[in-house]
Amino acid sequence: MALRGLGRRISIGKRCFSSASEVEKRPRDGKQINLFSAINQALHIALETDSRAYVFGEDVGFGGVFRCTTGLADRFGRNRVFNTPLCEQGIAGFAIGLAAMGNRAIAEIQFADYIYPAFDQIVNEAAKFRYRSGNQFNCGGLTIRSPYGAVGHGGHYHSQSPEAFFCHVPGLKWLYRLAVEEVPERDYMLPLSQAEVIRQGSDITLVGWGAQLSVLERACDEAAKDGISCELIDLRTLIPWDKETVEASVRKTGRLLVSHEAPVTGGFGAEISASIAERCFLRLEAPVARICGLDTPFPLVYEPFYMPTKNKVLDAIKATVNY
């Protein structure tokens, strides 16, 4: 998938360690590959089609810790695909400058947990560049890629989901993709800010993104056994997010459940919940449910308790439907 378009993009991919369950086949001409291969293909296409595209970050040269950048250095050379030293703030700032000169800078932050030193650069430098220069400059060619989310043993600093911090910043775009999807092999464009209805249903709308979708899908399957028909939406872009699709779905079902790994307080589910409550207040049959991580630091041994698991989601589905 080539991620094209303007606007500063931060693309978050889920690691493929989790048991990404069978994804329902969607009508597309493609073969099912995992996220890393898809990213790898996309990067190959991006570097091939744009001679001013660069990929850099910690350890990307040999292929990266998740193998997203394999083969790039050999194919495109070390001047376009190169390692940086261990300095996230430096990487982000450097990428912004490169993008401001009209290049397609694709920076990698090794784990989303490490993105915080770069926070100032992203929020203060990248996001506001076009705005503060009166459209003279922009870093629309900037993409920052980072794996996020829990793997089962990541502990405090290899498991976080920092989306809520960044979604609060106008000027950024924040994207997710599923762990396993059907992906065409050719170059193609997906519109950003368009959510996808993965499953049609009539009783309740479930909204999620990234790896959490596999959890939600399993919950849908279980709920179906109890005769509850769930509509599942993959939000895909968090900002700007596709309010219309979610609203249309909630108008149909009357119930909404949002689920994400990040802690519930101040998480992105809160934004979705508030917006939908504004738009669909009279249509809602039950309060919007949020099944999210707990309000603690991401734990080590307690990860199974912390996570928004299938059972928690299922429980909330039933409670919402029976409200």
Partner 1 sequence: MAVSRLASSSSSLSKLLLRPLPAPPFSRSFSAIASDDDGTVLTIETSVPFTGHKIDPPSRSVDTTRNELLSFFHDMSVMRRMEIAADSLYKAKLIRGFCHLYDGQEAVAIGMEAAITKRDSIITAYRDHCTFLGRGGTLVEVFSELMGRRSGCSKGKGGSMHFYKKEAGFYGGHGIVGAQIPLGCGLAFAQKYSKDETVTFALYGDGAANQGQLFEALNMSALWDLPVILVCENNHYGMGTAEWRASKSPAYYKRGDYVPGLKVDGMDVLAVKQACKFAKEHALKNGPIILEMDTYRYHGHSMSDPGSTYRTRDEISGVRQERDPIERVRKLILTYEISSASELKDIEKGIRKEVDEAIRQAKESPMPDPSELFTNVYVKGFGVEAFGADRKEVKAVLP
Peptide bond between residue 240 and the one before it cis (omega within 30 degrees of 0): yes
Q: Confirm if 260 and 208 have CB atoms less than 8 A apart.
A: yes
Q: How far is the CB of 241 from partner 1 (least distance, A)?
A: 26
Q: Can you say whether the dihedral through the CA atoms of 16, 178, 32, 64 is positive or negative?
A: negative
Q: What is the DSSP letter of 189?
A: B
Q: Confirm if 206 and 221 have CB atoms less than 8 A apart.
A: no
Nearest to 293 by CA among 177, 154, 194, 123: 154
Q: How far is the CB of 67 from partner 1 (least distance, A)?
A: 13
Q: Which amino acid is at 236?
A: R
Query: Considering beta carbons, is residue 282 or 301 the nearer one to partner 1?
Result: 301
Choose, from 158, 181, 231, 261, the residue flagged as catalytic: 158
Quick one: the chain helix, strand, coil %, rounded to 5?
A: 35, 25, 40
Q: How far is the CB of 305 from partner 1 (least distance, A)?
A: 5
Query: Considering beta carbons, is residue 124 or 200 the nearer one to partner 1?
Result: 124
Query: Considering beta carbons, is residue 58 or 231 the nearer one to partner 1?
Result: 58
Q: Confirm if 174 and 115 have CB atoms less than 8 A apart.
A: no
Rounded CA-CA distance 52/117 in Å is 27
Query: Residue 39 has which token pair?
Result: 């990213």
Binding site for partner 1 (CB under 8 A): 58-59, 62, 83, 85-87, 89-90, 113-114, 116-117, 152-158, 294-297, 299-302, 305-306, 309, 311-312, 314-315, 319
- 158 is annotated as an active-site residue: yes
- 88 is annotated as an active-site residue: yes
Query: Considering beta carbons, is residue 129 or 306 the nearer one to partner 1?
Result: 306
Q: How far is the CB of 51 from partner 1 (least distance, A)?
A: 25
Query: Considering beta carbons, is residue 28 or 153 the nearer one to partner 1?
Result: 153
Distances (CA, A) of 281 to 32, 285, 319: 39, 9, 19
Question: SS3 for 113?
Answer: helix
Phi, psi of 278 (to 5 degrees): -65, -45
Nearest to 316 by CA among 294, 293, 295, 291: 291
Q: How far is the CB of 308 from partner 1 (least distance, A)?
A: 10
Query: Considering beta carbons, is residue 58 or 203 the nearer one to partner 1?
Result: 58
Q: How far is the CB of 115 from partner 1 (least distance, A)?
A: 11
Which residues form the catalytic set? 88, 158
